[in-house]
Structure 1
Amino acid sequence: MNLDIKKECNNVMVIVPHQDDEILMSAGVIRVCEQNNVPYTVVMVTNGDYGCIDYSKGYARLKESLAGLETLGSNKESFEIMGYADTGMPERESFLTHLYNEKNEQKIYPSSCARETYGLEDKVEFHMKKYGKHGDYNRITFEKDLEMLLEEKKPDVIFTTSEYDMHGDHSGLYYFVCEVLDILNKKNGYEPKVFCGLIHSCAGDDNWPERDTAVFSCPQGLEENSNYKWEERMILELPEEMKKARGINNLKYQALLKHETALEPDAYEFLMAFIKDEEIFWRVR
């Protein structure tokens, strides 16, 4: 089934955990919104600073996201930094999975470089913007930040990562988004549409997305290991300037190139496999 941004969306929010996820999953969504004057916000939850003992990696990756979005025609006013930690991919290491499962909502989960939110000098994080101070790396602060952000922006359509994603931050983010939407629904009846995209599938990053194809194939094991049905996916056909045949002139490719930190040799083929003629999602709410 085709996804028509112009028809279905009046105010879009893309919520992703890490720098480059917004390009891999939803560069086409962002571009189509930009082209058709559909209001949108790209929300970056973590600073992507895994393994770094200072802020240098986080600063670099946030700037790379801004550069990638600028390539798509966006600007920093459409970008919100939440400024939380990136502590690893497996669920046992994942910051967002730890936070979601934590019973003590005040317990701080430090990263290798911080215990509280941070942003850029010329683009502060959401908590700083609202409260004039950094926010603790704990469950209650993150949940309240996300709740306030959704209340403020009131998107009618949300694109975010999937509960079936193999990265703990991706699945953890999904659960937080659903939790906060349930809170807001009880509070004021707010009920946006929610679409989820896969980045790290159960087939493994070495196998999916399939390399050198113009369309996505069904990840091996997807239907056996999730509630997703391949035939129920929503397909966004990308604009001509983002089609795979454009090669190095492809706008999604050019935006992804801005993410120099992520483009390590062992990840390059995986990341470039998202350069296709389409983006795919499942509607979950």
Structure 2
Amino acid sequence: MRVKTMNLDIKKECNNVMVIVPHQDDEILMSAGVIRVCEQNNVPYTVVMVTNGDYGCIDYSKGYARLKESLAGLETLGSNKESFEIMGYADTGMPERESFLTHLYNEKNEQKIYPSSCARETYGLEDKVEFHMKKYGKHGDYNRITFEKDLEMLLEEKKPDVIFTTSEYDMHGDHSGLYYFVCEVLDILNKKNGYEPKVFCGLIHSCAGDDNWPERDTAVFSCPQGLEENSNYKWEERMILELPEEMKKARGINNLKYQALLKHETALEPDAYEFLMAFIKDEEIFWKVR
């Protein structure tokens, strides 16, 4: 089968785009090109940050730092804080047994609170409050019903016709958990008012392992080992977004995606640096799932 090339003709096909990701830097790794193309074409878009990336921190300092890093990275791409929404939820670990969003999704008691190491309710920045605070004038509990209602209200308010989010086949429990929540809320809204946007998923932590994928120092993505055996994704059916010239790998340190990723100083630890930089390529890839 011929590979489908995603031609993001924003003016023709999209009126309103949403990028919704679990953690700070996911928006750059998965979709910096999407954000840049929207910005260049004056297409309304929103980048939604679900958690505060505060895993293991006993106070708000890491969450504050990471949220500010996301704002700085988006500014590098030409964006501003008005295009950024903070949901303000917890980051409690990568494996499904630790993941905040997987715990919430599987929880039968929708009122049960899942605290992080520093909080039991949503928080944002002093000059950029989280969505729940903006709507209700108070912080929201870290439980299933509050998160689902916040996500439902956010999607209903923004009404994107195209959504980019993380995949159900991503090995990070927050990434797969977010996918399931997005689908659940879209089903609710479809029954409520017929709302049915297009949904594209990107892969960050593949079944091949972060040490093996993405391949380092290549200009395009290769198929992660085991992808087709462990998912419903077919490599030949991926959608390819070719990045603007200022984001091509050959631009080196002048590459705009690279410059945006550099703003995420907290994430760029020595053991993660090569993995994160492996997303600096000439393309971004997605699968259309809805």
TM-score of the aligned structures, taking structure 1 as reference length:
0.99
SS at match of 2:149: helix
Contact 1:15 1:44 in 2 (8 A): yes
Q: Kindly tell me: are residues 276 and 6 of structure 1, through their superposed partners in 2, closer, same or farther at Cα, counting changes over 3 Å?
A: farther
CA separation in 1, counterparts of 2:63 and 2:33? 25
In structure 1, the partner of 2:105 is 100
Structure 1 residue 5 displacement after superposition: 3.8
CA deviation string 1:38-80 (max 9, x = no partner): 1000000000000000000000000000000000000000000
Runs of 5+ in structure 1 lacking a partner? Answer: none
DSSP 3-state at the match of 1:13: strand
Give 3-state SS (helix, strand or coil) of 2:55's partner.
coil
Is the contact made by 1:4 and 1:236 (CA closer than 8 Å) also made in structure 2? no
Q: Deviations over 1:160-207 (max 9, x none)?
A: 000000000000000000000000000000000000000000000000
The DSSP-based 3-state class of the residue aligned with 1:209 is: coil
What is the count of residue pairs matched by the alignment?
285
Shift of 1:109: 0.0
Other structure's SS at 2:48 match? strand
List alignment gaps of at least 5 residues for structure 2. Answer: 1-5
Local SS of the residue matching 1:158: strand
Q: Measure the CA separation in 1 of the matches of 2:265 and 2:11.
A: 32
Q: CA RMSD in A?
A: 0.7
Q: Pick from 6, 11, 18: which aligns with 2:16?
A: 11
Q: What do the CA deviations read for 1:69-95 (whole angstroms, capped 9, x no partner)?
A: 000000000000000000000000000
CA offset digits 1:2-35 (Å, max 9, x no partner): 4544432210000000000000000000000000
**Counterpart contact for 1:233–1:282, Cα < 8 Å:** yes
- Structure 1 distance, partners of 2:102, 2:231, is 18
Cα-to-partner distance string for 1:123-165 (whole Å, 9 max, x where unaligned): 0000000000000000000000000000000000000000000
Encode CA deviations 1:206-247: one digit per residue, 9 max, x unaligned.
Answer: 000000000000000000000000010000000000000000
SS in 2 for 1:136: coil
**For the Cα contact (< 8 Å) 1:126–1:145, is it kept in 2?**
yes
Separation of aligned partners in 2, 1:8 and 1:211: 33
* Equivalent position SS for 2:85: strand
Percent identity between matched residues is: 100
CA distance in 1, matches of 2:194, 2:206: 33
- What SS is found at the alignment partner of 1:106? coil
- 1:118-197 mapped onto 2 (5 Å cutoff): 118-197=123-202
8 Å Cα contact 1:6-1:33 kept in structure 2: no
Cα 1:271–1:203 shift into 2, 3 Å = same
1:201 maps to which residue?
206
Task: Return the alpha-carbon distance in structure 2 between the equivalents of residues 187 and 41 of structure 1.
Answer: 23
Q: Distance in 1 between matches of 2:287 and 2:8?
A: 10
